[in-house]
Amino acid sequence: MPTVKSTIRATGRHERTPTDRPESRPGSRLRGRLRPRILLALLTACTSLTSVAQSERLDLPDMGASADTILSRQEEEDYAKALVRQMRAYEVLVEDPLINGFFEDMGYRLASNSDRPDKPFTFVVLNQPVVNAFAAPGGVVALFNGLILAADDENEIAGVLAHEIAHITQLHLYRALENQQSMTIPIALAMLGLVLAGGGSGEAIQGALIGGQAAAQQAQIFFTRQNEYEADRIGISTMSRAGYDPAGMGEFFEKMSRITRAMGEGPPEFLRTHPVSVSRIAEADNRAANMPKPKPSDGRDFYLVQARLRALTEKIPDTAIEWFNHRKDRADVGEAETDALFYGTAIALQRKGDYDEARKLLQNLLDRQQHVAYELQLADLDLDSGHHEAAIARLADLYHAFPGNHAISMQYAESLLKRQDPEQAQTAEVVLRQQLLSHPENPALYELYARSANVAGDRVRAKEAIAESYYLRGGVHEAAMQLQELVAEEDLDYYERARITARINELRLELAKLGQEEPED
Protein backbone atom coordinates (compact mmCIF):
# COMPACT_ATOMS: atom_id res chain seq x y z
CA MET A 1 0.00 0.00 0.00
CA PRO A 2 1.51 3.37 -0.93
CA THR A 3 2.36 5.75 1.88
CA VAL A 4 0.64 9.05 2.33
CA LYS A 5 2.90 12.06 1.88
CA SER A 6 1.34 15.45 1.49
CA THR A 7 -1.55 15.47 -0.94
CA ILE A 8 -4.49 13.57 0.49
CA ARG A 9 -7.13 12.79 -2.07
CA ALA A 10 -10.72 13.71 -1.30
CA THR A 11 -11.76 10.16 -1.99
CA GLY A 12 -9.39 8.46 0.42
CA ARG A 13 -7.19 7.07 -2.35
CA HIS A 14 -3.56 7.97 -2.61
CA GLU A 15 -2.31 8.18 -6.18
CA ARG A 16 -0.59 10.51 -8.60
CA THR A 17 -2.92 12.88 -10.38
CA PRO A 18 -3.36 11.78 -14.02
CA THR A 19 -2.98 14.47 -16.64
CA ASP A 20 -3.28 14.68 -20.38
CA ARG A 21 0.37 13.73 -20.79
CA PRO A 22 2.98 12.19 -18.49
CA GLU A 23 5.28 15.20 -18.35
CA SER A 24 2.57 17.79 -17.68
CA ARG A 25 2.78 17.93 -13.88
CA PRO A 26 5.83 19.78 -12.59
CA GLY A 27 6.31 17.52 -9.55
CA SER A 28 9.93 16.74 -8.83
CA ARG A 29 11.04 18.93 -11.75
CA LEU A 30 9.53 21.96 -10.01
CA ARG A 31 11.09 21.03 -6.68
CA GLY A 32 14.39 20.56 -8.47
CA ARG A 33 14.12 24.10 -9.83
CA LEU A 34 13.23 25.52 -6.43
CA ARG A 35 15.80 23.84 -4.19
CA PRO A 36 18.96 25.17 -5.88
CA ARG A 37 17.52 28.69 -5.88
CA ILE A 38 16.70 28.55 -2.19
CA LEU A 39 19.99 26.95 -1.17
CA LEU A 40 21.78 29.64 -3.14
CA ALA A 41 19.66 32.23 -1.37
CA LEU A 42 20.75 30.88 2.03
CA LEU A 43 24.44 30.92 1.12
CA THR A 44 24.19 34.43 -0.26
CA ALA A 45 22.36 35.59 2.87
CA CYS A 46 25.61 35.27 4.77
CA THR A 47 27.04 38.21 2.78
CA SER A 48 24.16 39.96 1.03
CA LEU A 49 20.50 39.96 2.00
CA THR A 50 19.73 41.95 -1.16
CA SER A 51 20.87 39.05 -3.32
CA VAL A 52 18.49 36.73 -1.52
CA ALA A 53 15.57 39.00 -2.25
CA GLN A 54 16.48 39.13 -5.92
CA SER A 55 16.66 35.35 -6.23
CA GLU A 56 13.30 34.69 -4.56
CA ARG A 57 10.69 32.98 -6.73
CA LEU A 58 7.63 34.59 -5.22
CA ASP A 59 6.27 38.03 -6.06
CA LEU A 60 5.68 39.42 -2.59
CA PRO A 61 5.35 42.97 -1.28
CA ASP A 62 8.37 44.27 0.62
CA MET A 63 7.30 45.29 4.13
CA GLY A 64 10.53 47.18 4.71
CA ALA A 65 12.07 47.60 8.13
CA SER A 66 9.19 49.23 9.95
CA ALA A 67 5.88 47.88 11.24
CA ASP A 68 4.44 51.31 10.46
CA THR A 69 4.19 50.21 6.81
CA ILE A 70 0.96 48.24 6.84
CA LEU A 71 0.07 46.10 3.85
CA SER A 72 -2.98 47.03 1.83
CA ARG A 73 -5.75 44.47 1.58
CA GLN A 74 -4.67 43.54 -1.95
CA GLU A 75 -1.05 43.16 -0.85
CA GLU A 76 -2.12 40.95 2.04
CA GLU A 77 -4.17 38.75 -0.30
CA ASP A 78 -1.29 38.54 -2.79
CA TYR A 79 1.15 37.58 -0.07
CA ALA A 80 -1.19 34.91 1.33
CA LYS A 81 -1.64 33.36 -2.12
CA ALA A 82 2.12 33.37 -2.70
CA LEU A 83 2.79 31.74 0.67
CA VAL A 84 0.25 28.98 0.02
CA ARG A 85 1.72 28.39 -3.45
CA GLN A 86 5.14 28.01 -1.85
CA MET A 87 3.84 25.44 0.62
CA ARG A 88 2.09 23.55 -2.16
CA ALA A 89 5.31 23.52 -4.20
CA TYR A 90 6.95 21.60 -1.37
CA GLU A 91 3.92 19.32 -0.89
CA VAL A 92 3.40 19.97 2.81
CA LEU A 93 -0.33 20.76 2.71
CA VAL A 94 -3.20 18.41 3.41
CA GLU A 95 -5.48 18.79 0.37
CA ASP A 96 -8.50 16.73 1.34
CA PRO A 97 -11.77 18.65 0.73
CA LEU A 98 -13.55 17.25 3.79
CA ILE A 99 -10.69 18.04 6.15
CA ASN A 100 -9.89 21.43 4.66
CA GLY A 101 -13.54 22.39 4.42
CA PHE A 102 -14.16 21.74 8.11
CA PHE A 103 -11.25 23.83 9.38
CA GLU A 104 -11.85 26.59 6.82
CA ASP A 105 -15.45 26.84 8.02
CA MET A 106 -14.26 26.95 11.63
CA GLY A 107 -11.67 29.60 10.82
CA TYR A 108 -14.05 31.83 8.87
CA ARG A 109 -16.70 31.47 11.55
CA LEU A 110 -14.20 32.75 14.12
CA ALA A 111 -12.77 35.45 11.84
CA SER A 112 -16.24 36.82 11.08
CA ASN A 113 -16.75 37.23 14.84
CA SER A 114 -13.34 38.80 15.48
CA ASP A 115 -12.70 42.50 15.99
CA ARG A 116 -11.52 42.72 12.36
CA PRO A 117 -13.98 40.68 10.29
CA ASP A 118 -12.98 42.69 7.20
CA LYS A 119 -9.41 41.30 7.12
CA PRO A 120 -8.62 38.55 4.60
CA PHE A 121 -7.78 35.12 6.04
CA THR A 122 -6.55 31.82 4.62
CA PHE A 123 -6.68 28.61 6.68
CA VAL A 124 -4.57 25.56 5.85
CA VAL A 125 -3.63 22.21 7.41
CA LEU A 126 -0.02 21.06 7.25
CA ASN A 127 0.77 17.37 7.03
CA GLN A 128 3.41 17.39 9.74
CA PRO A 129 3.07 15.37 12.97
CA VAL A 130 3.95 18.17 15.37
CA VAL A 131 1.72 19.91 17.89
CA ASN A 132 1.83 23.50 16.67
CA ALA A 133 0.10 26.26 14.74
CA PHE A 134 1.24 29.56 13.30
CA ALA A 135 -0.04 32.79 11.85
CA ALA A 136 1.70 34.60 8.98
CA PRO A 137 1.46 38.06 7.42
CA GLY A 138 -1.38 38.21 4.92
CA GLY A 139 -3.79 36.40 7.23
CA VAL A 140 -2.52 32.85 6.71
CA VAL A 141 -3.23 30.57 9.69
CA ALA A 142 -1.82 27.04 9.63
CA LEU A 143 -2.74 24.09 11.83
CA PHE A 144 -0.36 21.13 11.97
CA ASN A 145 -2.02 17.73 11.85
CA GLY A 146 -0.27 16.76 15.10
CA LEU A 147 -2.14 19.53 16.90
CA ILE A 148 -5.48 18.48 15.44
CA LEU A 149 -4.92 14.87 16.45
CA ALA A 150 -3.93 15.90 20.00
CA ALA A 151 -7.17 17.80 20.67
CA ASP A 152 -10.00 16.32 22.72
CA ASP A 153 -12.74 18.36 21.06
CA GLU A 154 -13.43 21.11 18.54
CA ASN A 155 -13.41 23.84 21.19
CA GLU A 156 -9.71 23.27 21.81
CA ILE A 157 -8.92 23.71 18.11
CA ALA A 158 -11.20 26.76 17.99
CA GLY A 159 -9.19 28.20 20.89
CA VAL A 160 -5.93 27.81 18.99
CA LEU A 161 -7.41 29.33 15.82
CA ALA A 162 -8.95 32.24 17.73
CA HIS A 163 -5.59 32.91 19.38
CA GLU A 164 -3.76 32.94 16.02
CA ILE A 165 -6.46 35.11 14.43
CA ALA A 166 -5.95 37.63 17.26
CA HIS A 167 -2.21 37.76 16.53
CA ILE A 168 -3.14 38.88 13.00
CA THR A 169 -5.90 41.33 13.87
CA GLN A 170 -3.73 42.99 16.55
CA LEU A 171 -0.76 43.35 14.15
CA HIS A 172 1.57 41.35 16.40
CA LEU A 173 3.22 39.86 13.33
CA TYR A 174 4.16 43.29 12.02
CA ARG A 175 5.61 44.27 15.38
CA ALA A 176 7.72 41.11 15.35
CA LEU A 177 8.95 41.91 11.85
CA GLU A 178 9.84 45.41 13.01
CA ASN A 179 12.39 43.85 15.36
CA GLN A 180 14.11 42.22 12.37
CA GLN A 181 15.42 45.51 10.98
CA SER A 182 16.79 44.11 7.70
CA MET A 183 14.21 41.37 7.19
CA THR A 184 11.91 41.77 4.19
CA ILE A 185 9.11 39.42 3.28
CA PRO A 186 10.85 38.02 0.18
CA ILE A 187 13.83 37.11 2.36
CA ALA A 188 11.52 35.53 4.93
CA LEU A 189 9.99 33.42 2.15
CA ALA A 190 13.45 32.37 0.99
CA MET A 191 14.12 31.15 4.52
CA LEU A 192 10.75 29.41 4.57
CA GLY A 193 11.62 27.66 1.32
CA LEU A 194 14.83 26.36 2.84
CA VAL A 195 12.99 25.08 5.91
CA LEU A 196 10.35 23.33 3.77
CA ALA A 197 12.98 21.82 1.47
CA GLY A 198 14.67 20.29 4.50
CA GLY A 199 11.44 19.00 6.05
CA GLY A 200 11.75 21.53 8.88
CA SER A 201 9.74 21.59 12.08
CA GLY A 202 6.81 23.83 12.83
CA GLU A 203 8.97 25.95 15.09
CA ALA A 204 11.47 26.52 12.28
CA ILE A 205 8.67 27.39 9.84
CA GLN A 206 7.29 30.00 12.25
CA GLY A 207 10.79 31.38 12.67
CA ALA A 208 11.34 31.64 8.94
CA LEU A 209 8.18 33.68 8.60
CA ILE A 210 9.24 36.14 11.27
CA GLY A 211 12.91 36.47 10.40
CA GLY A 212 16.19 34.78 9.58
CA GLN A 213 17.55 34.89 13.11
CA ALA A 214 14.37 33.35 14.49
CA ALA A 215 14.60 30.51 12.01
CA ALA A 216 18.02 29.62 13.35
CA GLN A 217 17.27 29.94 17.03
CA GLN A 218 15.31 27.05 18.54
CA ALA A 219 14.39 28.96 21.69
CA GLN A 220 13.18 32.12 19.92
CA ILE A 221 10.00 33.57 21.44
CA PHE A 222 8.06 35.09 18.55
CA PHE A 223 5.64 37.26 20.46
CA THR A 224 6.04 39.15 23.71
CA ARG A 225 4.24 38.08 26.85
CA GLN A 226 1.92 41.04 26.37
CA ASN A 227 1.13 39.86 22.84
CA GLU A 228 0.26 36.39 24.11
CA TYR A 229 -2.05 37.65 26.85
CA GLU A 230 -3.72 40.01 24.41
CA ALA A 231 -4.26 37.20 21.88
CA ASP A 232 -5.74 35.05 24.67
CA ARG A 233 -8.10 37.78 25.84
CA ILE A 234 -9.34 38.73 22.38
CA GLY A 235 -9.41 35.12 21.19
CA ILE A 236 -11.61 34.01 24.09
CA SER A 237 -14.11 36.77 23.30
CA THR A 238 -14.06 35.75 19.64
CA MET A 239 -14.75 32.12 20.58
CA SER A 240 -17.73 33.11 22.68
CA ARG A 241 -19.25 35.29 19.95
CA ALA A 242 -18.74 32.49 17.40
CA GLY A 243 -20.61 29.98 19.57
CA TYR A 244 -17.68 27.90 20.79
CA ASP A 245 -17.01 27.09 24.44
CA PRO A 246 -14.36 29.65 25.48
CA ALA A 247 -13.05 27.22 28.09
CA GLY A 248 -11.50 25.27 25.23
CA MET A 249 -8.53 27.65 24.98
CA GLY A 250 -7.45 27.22 28.60
CA GLU A 251 -8.09 23.49 28.48
CA PHE A 252 -5.77 23.06 25.52
CA PHE A 253 -3.07 25.22 27.11
CA GLU A 254 -3.32 23.19 30.30
CA LYS A 255 -3.09 19.94 28.36
CA MET A 256 0.03 21.14 26.54
CA SER A 257 1.65 22.20 29.78
CA ARG A 258 1.23 18.64 31.13
CA ILE A 259 2.77 16.98 28.10
CA THR A 260 6.48 16.18 28.21
CA ARG A 261 8.36 14.35 25.53
CA ALA A 262 9.97 10.99 26.11
CA MET A 263 13.66 10.86 26.98
CA GLY A 264 13.80 14.51 27.98
CA GLU A 265 13.27 16.00 24.52
CA GLY A 266 11.42 18.97 25.94
CA PRO A 267 7.88 20.35 25.66
CA PRO A 268 5.71 20.31 22.54
CA GLU A 269 6.58 22.88 19.90
CA PHE A 270 3.38 24.76 20.67
CA LEU A 271 4.75 25.66 24.10
CA ARG A 272 8.09 26.82 22.71
CA THR A 273 6.37 29.18 20.25
CA HIS A 274 3.48 30.01 22.61
CA PRO A 275 4.92 29.82 26.17
CA VAL A 276 2.26 29.04 28.77
CA SER A 277 2.48 29.83 32.48
CA VAL A 278 0.23 28.83 35.37
CA SER A 279 -1.01 32.40 35.69
CA ARG A 280 -1.79 32.56 31.98
CA ILE A 281 -3.85 29.37 32.15
CA ALA A 282 -5.66 30.65 35.25
CA GLU A 283 -6.43 33.96 33.58
CA ALA A 284 -7.78 32.20 30.48
CA ASP A 285 -9.97 29.96 32.65
CA ASN A 286 -11.28 32.89 34.71
CA ARG A 287 -12.07 34.93 31.63
CA ALA A 288 -13.88 31.97 30.01
CA ALA A 289 -15.89 31.37 33.18
CA ASN A 290 -17.44 34.82 32.82
CA MET A 291 -18.52 34.17 29.22
CA PRO A 292 -21.89 32.67 28.28
CA LYS A 293 -21.82 28.93 27.64
CA PRO A 294 -22.87 27.81 24.16
CA LYS A 295 -25.47 25.16 23.48
CA PRO A 296 -23.86 21.73 24.02
CA SER A 297 -22.81 19.82 20.91
CA ASP A 298 -21.69 16.23 20.51
CA GLY A 299 -18.89 17.38 18.17
CA ARG A 300 -19.60 14.63 15.65
CA ASP A 301 -18.30 16.51 12.62
CA PHE A 302 -15.01 17.31 14.35
CA TYR A 303 -14.48 13.75 15.49
CA LEU A 304 -15.17 12.45 11.99
CA VAL A 305 -12.66 14.85 10.42
CA GLN A 306 -10.10 14.07 13.12
CA ALA A 307 -10.48 10.32 12.54
CA ARG A 308 -10.27 10.82 8.78
CA LEU A 309 -7.06 12.81 9.17
CA ARG A 310 -5.49 10.08 11.29
CA ALA A 311 -6.59 7.27 8.96
CA LEU A 312 -5.24 9.03 5.85
CA THR A 313 -1.98 10.38 7.23
CA GLU A 314 -0.80 7.35 9.19
CA LYS A 315 1.83 5.67 7.03
CA ILE A 316 0.82 2.14 8.05
CA PRO A 317 -2.97 1.49 8.09
CA ASP A 318 -2.63 -1.15 10.81
CA THR A 319 -1.10 1.46 13.11
CA ALA A 320 -4.18 3.64 12.71
CA ILE A 321 -6.50 0.66 13.25
CA GLU A 322 -4.66 -0.26 16.44
CA TRP A 323 -5.00 3.31 17.73
CA PHE A 324 -8.72 3.42 16.93
CA ASN A 325 -9.32 0.10 18.70
CA HIS A 326 -7.41 1.21 21.77
CA ARG A 327 -9.31 4.49 21.92
CA LYS A 328 -12.68 2.72 21.66
CA ASP A 329 -11.93 0.82 24.88
CA ARG A 330 -11.80 4.00 26.95
CA ALA A 331 -14.75 4.69 29.23
CA ASP A 332 -14.75 8.44 28.59
CA VAL A 333 -15.41 8.15 24.84
CA GLY A 334 -18.93 9.22 23.87
CA GLU A 335 -21.19 7.93 21.11
CA ALA A 336 -20.24 10.57 18.54
CA GLU A 337 -16.52 9.92 18.96
CA THR A 338 -17.08 6.15 18.95
CA ASP A 339 -18.83 6.40 15.60
CA ALA A 340 -15.93 8.46 14.30
CA LEU A 341 -13.48 5.80 15.44
CA PHE A 342 -15.38 3.18 13.45
CA TYR A 343 -15.39 5.55 10.47
CA GLY A 344 -11.63 5.99 10.73
CA THR A 345 -11.18 2.24 11.03
CA ALA A 346 -13.18 1.74 7.83
CA ILE A 347 -10.95 4.18 5.93
CA ALA A 348 -7.82 2.41 7.19
CA LEU A 349 -9.29 -0.98 6.23
CA GLN A 350 -10.03 0.35 2.75
CA ARG A 351 -6.44 1.51 2.43
CA LYS A 352 -5.39 -2.06 3.27
CA GLY A 353 -7.70 -3.45 0.60
CA ASP A 354 -10.06 -5.10 3.11
CA TYR A 355 -13.15 -3.83 1.32
CA ASP A 356 -15.71 -6.20 2.84
CA GLU A 357 -14.92 -5.27 6.45
CA ALA A 358 -14.79 -1.58 5.58
CA ARG A 359 -18.21 -1.81 3.92
CA LYS A 360 -19.73 -3.53 6.95
CA LEU A 361 -18.56 -0.77 9.28
CA LEU A 362 -19.70 2.04 7.01
CA GLN A 363 -23.08 0.49 6.30
CA ASN A 364 -23.65 -0.06 10.02
CA LEU A 365 -22.86 3.59 10.70
CA LEU A 366 -25.18 4.72 7.91
CA ASP A 367 -28.01 2.48 9.12
CA ARG A 368 -27.85 4.14 12.54
CA GLN A 369 -27.45 7.76 11.41
CA GLN A 370 -27.27 9.45 8.02
CA HIS A 371 -24.11 11.47 7.38
CA VAL A 372 -22.48 12.79 4.21
CA ALA A 373 -19.06 11.52 5.32
CA TYR A 374 -20.33 7.91 5.45
CA GLU A 375 -22.01 8.25 2.05
CA LEU A 376 -18.88 9.67 0.44
CA GLN A 377 -16.69 6.94 1.85
CA LEU A 378 -19.09 4.24 0.68
CA ALA A 379 -19.03 5.75 -2.80
CA ASP A 380 -15.26 5.78 -2.73
CA LEU A 381 -15.28 2.18 -1.60
CA ASP A 382 -17.56 1.31 -4.53
CA LEU A 383 -15.06 2.91 -6.92
CA ASP A 384 -12.11 1.10 -5.39
CA SER A 385 -13.90 -2.25 -5.46
CA GLY A 386 -15.07 -1.92 -9.07
CA HIS A 387 -18.74 -0.99 -8.48
CA HIS A 388 -18.60 2.13 -10.64
CA GLU A 389 -22.28 2.51 -11.44
CA ALA A 390 -23.25 2.19 -7.78
CA ALA A 391 -20.73 4.89 -6.88
CA ILE A 392 -21.98 7.25 -9.60
CA ALA A 393 -25.60 6.73 -8.58
CA ARG A 394 -24.85 7.42 -4.91
CA LEU A 395 -22.81 10.52 -5.71
CA ALA A 396 -25.38 11.85 -8.17
CA ASP A 397 -28.01 11.67 -5.43
CA LEU A 398 -25.70 13.50 -3.03
CA TYR A 399 -24.81 16.11 -5.64
CA HIS A 400 -28.46 16.99 -6.21
CA ALA A 401 -29.28 16.88 -2.49
CA PHE A 402 -26.36 19.18 -1.58
CA PRO A 403 -25.79 21.43 -4.61
CA GLY A 404 -22.48 23.25 -4.53
CA ASN A 405 -20.88 21.05 -1.86
CA HIS A 406 -17.19 21.02 -2.75
CA ALA A 407 -16.23 17.57 -1.45
CA ILE A 408 -19.26 15.93 -3.09
CA SER A 409 -18.66 17.73 -6.39
CA MET A 410 -15.00 16.71 -6.52
CA GLN A 411 -15.75 13.06 -5.81
CA TYR A 412 -18.72 12.97 -8.19
CA ALA A 413 -16.58 14.39 -11.01
CA GLU A 414 -13.82 11.89 -10.32
CA SER A 415 -16.29 8.99 -10.42
CA LEU A 416 -17.62 10.21 -13.78
CA LEU A 417 -14.08 10.06 -15.19
CA LYS A 418 -13.38 6.53 -14.00
CA ARG A 419 -14.37 4.88 -17.30
CA GLN A 420 -13.00 7.60 -19.59
CA ASP A 421 -16.45 8.03 -21.19
CA PRO A 422 -16.69 11.34 -23.15
CA GLU A 423 -20.36 11.89 -22.30
CA GLN A 424 -19.80 11.41 -18.58
CA ALA A 425 -16.69 13.60 -18.82
CA GLN A 426 -18.84 16.43 -20.20
CA THR A 427 -21.04 16.15 -17.11
CA ALA A 428 -17.92 16.27 -14.96
CA GLU A 429 -16.84 19.44 -16.78
CA VAL A 430 -20.12 21.15 -15.89
CA VAL A 431 -19.80 20.13 -12.24
CA LEU A 432 -16.20 21.32 -12.00
CA ARG A 433 -16.75 24.65 -13.77
CA GLN A 434 -19.23 25.56 -11.04
CA GLN A 435 -16.62 24.73 -8.41
CA LEU A 436 -13.95 26.82 -10.13
CA LEU A 437 -16.11 29.89 -9.56
CA SER A 438 -15.96 29.45 -5.79
CA HIS A 439 -12.53 27.74 -5.48
CA PRO A 440 -10.29 29.50 -8.02
CA GLU A 441 -7.12 28.85 -5.96
CA ASN A 442 -7.44 25.05 -5.83
CA PRO A 443 -4.84 23.26 -8.02
CA ALA A 444 -6.39 19.82 -7.47
CA LEU A 445 -9.63 21.19 -8.91
CA TYR A 446 -7.83 22.45 -12.02
CA GLU A 447 -6.09 19.09 -12.41
CA LEU A 448 -9.41 17.26 -12.25
CA TYR A 449 -10.96 19.74 -14.68
CA ALA A 450 -8.05 19.16 -17.07
CA ARG A 451 -8.75 15.43 -17.01
CA SER A 452 -12.45 15.93 -17.68
CA ALA A 453 -11.82 18.38 -20.52
CA ASN A 454 -9.26 16.05 -22.09
CA VAL A 455 -11.60 13.03 -22.03
CA ALA A 456 -14.48 15.19 -23.31
CA GLY A 457 -12.33 16.24 -26.26
CA ASP A 458 -11.72 19.85 -25.20
CA ARG A 459 -7.94 19.69 -25.54
CA VAL A 460 -7.37 23.45 -25.33
CA ARG A 461 -9.26 23.87 -22.05
CA ALA A 462 -7.42 20.83 -20.68
CA LYS A 463 -4.01 22.37 -21.33
CA GLU A 464 -5.09 25.73 -19.94
CA ALA A 465 -6.26 24.04 -16.76
CA ILE A 466 -2.99 22.14 -16.40
CA ALA A 467 -1.12 25.45 -16.70
CA GLU A 468 -3.23 26.97 -13.90
CA SER A 469 -2.52 23.97 -11.68
CA TYR A 470 1.21 24.53 -12.25
CA TYR A 471 0.84 28.17 -11.31
CA LEU A 472 -1.08 27.40 -8.11
CA ARG A 473 1.60 24.91 -7.08
CA GLY A 474 4.33 27.53 -7.40
CA GLY A 475 5.35 26.84 -11.00
CA VAL A 476 4.93 30.24 -12.66
CA HIS A 477 7.60 29.45 -15.26
CA GLU A 478 6.12 26.01 -15.98
CA ALA A 479 2.65 27.53 -16.44
CA ALA A 480 3.96 30.09 -18.91
CA MET A 481 5.84 27.46 -20.88
CA GLN A 482 2.75 25.24 -21.08
CA LEU A 483 0.67 28.09 -22.48
CA GLN A 484 3.46 29.21 -24.82
CA GLU A 485 3.45 25.76 -26.39
CA LEU A 486 -0.33 25.85 -26.66
CA VAL A 487 -0.58 29.28 -28.30
CA ALA A 488 1.92 28.19 -30.98
CA GLU A 489 -0.56 25.62 -32.29
CA GLU A 490 -2.24 26.59 -35.57
CA ASP A 491 -5.76 25.26 -34.99
CA LEU A 492 -6.81 27.71 -32.24
CA ASP A 493 -9.74 29.97 -32.96
CA TYR A 494 -9.61 33.74 -32.44
CA TYR A 495 -11.13 33.68 -28.94
CA GLU A 496 -8.94 30.83 -27.70
CA ARG A 497 -5.78 32.53 -28.95
CA ALA A 498 -6.78 35.88 -27.41
CA ARG A 499 -7.60 34.28 -24.05
CA ILE A 500 -4.36 32.30 -23.90
CA THR A 501 -2.23 35.23 -25.05
CA ALA A 502 -3.73 37.44 -22.34
CA ARG A 503 -2.85 34.87 -19.68
CA ILE A 504 0.69 34.49 -21.03
CA ASN A 505 1.16 38.26 -20.77
CA GLU A 506 0.01 38.16 -17.13
CA LEU A 507 2.49 35.41 -16.35
CA ARG A 508 5.28 37.23 -18.18
CA LEU A 509 4.70 40.29 -16.04
CA GLU A 510 4.92 38.13 -12.95
CA LEU A 511 8.10 36.46 -14.19
CA ALA A 512 9.61 39.87 -14.87
CA LYS A 513 8.86 40.96 -11.30
CA LEU A 514 10.51 37.79 -10.06
CA GLY A 515 13.59 38.47 -12.14
CA GLN A 516 13.18 35.23 -14.10
CA GLU A 517 13.64 34.71 -17.79
CA GLU A 518 10.58 34.92 -20.03
CA PRO A 519 9.54 31.83 -21.99
CA GLU A 520 10.86 31.78 -25.50
CA ASP A 521 8.49 32.64 -28.34
Please, what's the largest Cα pairwise distance for the chain? 72
- Strand 140-144 relative to strand 133-136: parallel, antiparallel, unpaired? antiparallel
Question: How far apart (Å, rounded) are the C-alpha atoms in residues 482 and 437?
Answer: 23
User: What's the one-letter identity of residue 196?
Assistant: L
| Cross-strand partners of 122 | 140
Question: How far apart (Å, rounded) are the C-alpha atoms in residues 254 and 270?
Answer: 12
Q: Measuring CA to CA, how many Å separate 160 from each of 99, 131, 252, 409?
A: 17, 11, 8, 30
* Beta carbons within 8 Å of 440's beta carbon, 6+ residues apart: none
Catalytic (active site) residue 458: no
* φ, ψ dihedrals at 277, nearest 5°: -110, 165
Q: Measuring CA to CA, how many Å separate 367 from each of 339, 399, 411?
A: 12, 20, 22
Count of C-beta atoms within a 10 Å radius of residue 424 = 20
User: What's the one-letter identity of residue 305?
Assistant: V
Residue 376: helix, strand or coil by DSSP? helix
How is the beta sheet containing 122-126 ordered, strand by strand?
122-126, 140-144, 133-136
CB 377 within 8 A of CB 346: yes
Catalytic (active site) residue 232: yes
Question: How far apart (Å, rounded) are the C-alpha atoms in residues 249 and 271?
Answer: 13
Marked catalytic residue, from 232, 382, 429, 458: 232
Cα 52 to chain centroid distance, Å, stands at 27
Count of C-beta atoms within a 10 Å radius of residue 483 = 25
Question: How far apart (Å, rounded) are the C-alpha atoms in residues 388 and 339?
Answer: 27
CB 161 within 8 A of CB 105: no
CB 138 within 8 A of CB 83: yes
User: What's the one-letter identity of residue 292?
Assistant: P
**Residue 23 carries which DSSP code?**
G
User: What's the one-letter identity of residue 161?
Assistant: L
Question: How far apart (Å, rounded) are the C-alpha atoms in residues 111 and 118?
Answer: 9
Question: How far apart (Å, rounded) are the C-alpha atoms in residues 388 and 466?
Answer: 26
* Beta carbons within 8 Å of 308's beta carbon, 6+ residues apart: 96, 98, 99, 343, 344, 347, 373
Marked catalytic residue, from 59, 95, 153, 164: 164
- Residues 483/486/487/492 CA torsion (nearest 10 deg): -140
Our CA angle for 139, 144, 147, nearest 5°, is 120
Residues annotated catalytic, as ranges: 164, 232
